Amino acid sequence: MKPLQTSSGDLNADRRADYAEMLFASGDHTEAADLLLGALELAPQWAMGWFRLGEMQEASGRLDLAAQAWTMSLKLDPADRQGAALKLQLIGKGPAAAAPPSAFVETLFDHYAETFEAALVGKLDYRLPEFLEQEIRKARPGRFRLALDLGCGTGLMGERLRPIVDRLEGIDISARMLRKARAKGIYDTLTKADLQGFSYSADKPDLVTAADVLIYVGALEGLVEMVAGLLAGGGLFAFSVERLAGEGDFALQPSRRYAHSDSYVRRTLEANGFSILALEPTTIRQDRREPVKGLTVVARKAHAA
């Protein structure tokens, strides 16, 4: 994938953008947005600059101008590595999407790969792999023949799975996250793939995990159907979601992650032949010193008749 253009390519525009960031950090959001707009007059093809302008306009309360900036970012970068379409949806200026742009998810995790574990575990008290492992062991004590770790990232879930599986395979959209996972030496194979279009035709696993992954999926029907198709009869699907507090099946949050309702998770699993063994409320991580509420779920695929 072509890297993000973090510089406008124009020295004067970059200087103005840097000064705009200083103003923004000091709390002068309106002045910062106006200065960045001036920088973009010098570098009008800078998609990342237009996205940042949208954020500044949003912070200044000028949502119509924010929408114009994000629309321009999307026009210049149709793959939408910044996630402009999600920002437009959140302010009511764009259509609701059933999933985020794949390029946004890939770019996000490529960007955070180097600091991911230090931030998530060290600062945000992330313990979800530990919780999922406990639920897996309760649901089926003993070893698994083959486990498939979807959205494996740097291997935090894999570290928990390795002692209880004979063969462990990891899938992730981010090449840089996979590089971190590969350095740990815990996976038998690692594959770069997008879960939105993922297919798997090798030996059927008896365990599939997706720790803190479905928050970047939205509508679950396609993924759950895919997992049901690749799992061996009696196999387990262990995953987590952020818990939707309001009404509906799922919703995009200000964090640009999706939250899902208990009833939607249950209904989708049961429609695809799963029986639910555990559906437990949990705290996934901290976010701005507030707990992020979620669910850890373990479901079993029915045996073939």
User: For 48-97, how does the pLDDT look when each residue is reduced to its tens digit (9 = 90+)?
Assistant: 999 999 999 999 999 999 999 999 999 999 999 999 999 999 999 999 98
State pTM to two decimals.
0.92
pLDDT averaged over every residue in the chain: 93
Across the range 215-228, mean pLDDT stands at 95
Residue 47 has pLDDT above 70, yes or no: yes
- pLDDT score of 267: 97
Per residue in 277-289, pLDDT (tens digit) is: 999 999 998 888 8
- pLDDT score of 120: 86
Residue 144 CA: distances (Å) to CA of 27, 107, 148, 193, 245: 54, 33, 11, 23, 35
Domains, in order of start, for the chain: 11-96 (1.25.40.10), 116-301 (3.40.50.150)
Per residue in 182-215, pLDDT (tens digit) is: 999 999 999 999 998 888 878 899 999 999 999 9
- pLDDT score of 281: 94
Residue 304 has pLDDT above 90, yes or no: no
- The larger pLDDT score, comparing residue 2 to residue 252, is at 252
pLDDT band for 44, please (50, 70, 90 cuts). Answer: very high
- pLDDT score of 305: 60
Written as one string, the DSSP assignment of 97-156 is -SS--HHHHHHHHHHHTTTHHIIIIIIT---HHHHHHHHHHHHS-S-EEEEEEET-TTSH
pLDDT band for 3, please (50, 70, 90 cuts). Answer: low
Residue 2 has pLDDT above 80, yes or no: no
- pLDDT score of 121: 83
- pLDDT score of 6: 78
